Amino acid sequence: MCGVFRLFCEIAVLNPITMRIVIIRYNAGNIFSVQYALKRLGVNAELTDDPCRIRSADKVIFPGVGEASTTMQYLKNTGLDSVITSLEQPVLGICVGLQLLCSTSQEGNTFCLNVFEEKVTRFISGPTKEKIPHMGWNVLREMKTPLFKGLPENPFVYFVHSYRADTGPDTIARTDYAGSFSAALQKRNFYAVQFHPEKSGETGHLVLKNFLQL
């Protein structure tokens, strides 16, 4: 009964009649899993590549799994690159969404959207011979901003990636694996996480809820 009541309260807070959440549709995988995760929060997010629908949304999510250079070329060909960088409402990048919001990526020597100053580089296995890709549960450290409100200290979240954003002025959480990297970034209205909140259990559930309440 308590669980049902909590979900009812979340729906009431997160899904007022006037709130419209958009997930950007483009040539990347894993987009539907984010849509399903939002449904579990009681939010019916719209999946679209229509610039007008994206610009008029209350919140925008830019998720995905893919290769940086081909994905960036797709965004340029469709004009979504300029749409994304012009957004003024809260935006959340997830996984490759975070990487494409950075300045450059070593994957395909790609110039990205340059919202964040940080560069994306390939993991290099260190003396302890870490496996690449970085896949599985790892810890968030030094969390900042309301995106992580209510989370316990050093929570575990789920990662799957071979490239990572350097730490820098936009870093709001970091994780250690073959060195330290940005697990989350924020600049103005743009937020981004390298981990998958839709696969990160209660922690990911709370991160998504916090974003919707920004």
Q: Is residue 33 part of a domain?
A: yes
Tell me which of 7 and 136 has the higher pLDDT: 136
Confidence band, pLDDT 50/70/90 cuts, at residue 38: very high
Q: Is residue 71 part of a domain?
A: yes
Question: What's the number of domains the chain is made of?
Answer: 1
Q: Is residue 80 part of a domain?
A: yes
Range of the structural domain that residue 206 is part of = 21-212
The reported pLDDT for the residue numbered 89 is: 98
The reported pLDDT for the residue numbered 8 is: 40
Cα-Cα-Cα-Cα dihedral sign, residues 6, 7, 9, 13: positive
Q: Is the pLDDT of residue 1 over 70?
A: no
Confidence band, pLDDT 50/70/90 cuts, at residue 81: very high
Q: Is the pLDDT of residue 4 over 70?
A: no
Tell me which of 188 and 1 has the higher pLDDT: 188
CATH code of the domain in which 31 resides = 3.40.50.880
Q: Is residue 29 part of a domain?
A: yes
Q: Is residue 44 part of a domain?
A: yes
What is the value of pTM for the model shown?
A: 0.91
Tell me which of 146 and 1 has the higher pLDDT: 146
Q: Is residue 7 part of a domain?
A: no
3-state secondary structure the chain: CHHHHHHHHHHHHHCCCCCCEEEECCCCECHHHHHHHHHHCCCCCEEECCHHHHHCCCEEEECCECCHHHHHHHHHHHCHHHHHHCCCCCEEEECHHHHHCCCEECCCCEECCCCCCCCEEECCCCCCCCCCCEEEEEECECCCCHHHCCCCCCCEEEEEECEEECCCCCEEEEEECCCEEEEEEEECCEEEECCCHHHCHHHHHHHHHHHHCC
Token pair of 141, please? 């450290």
Hey, which residues are catalytic here? 95, 196, 198
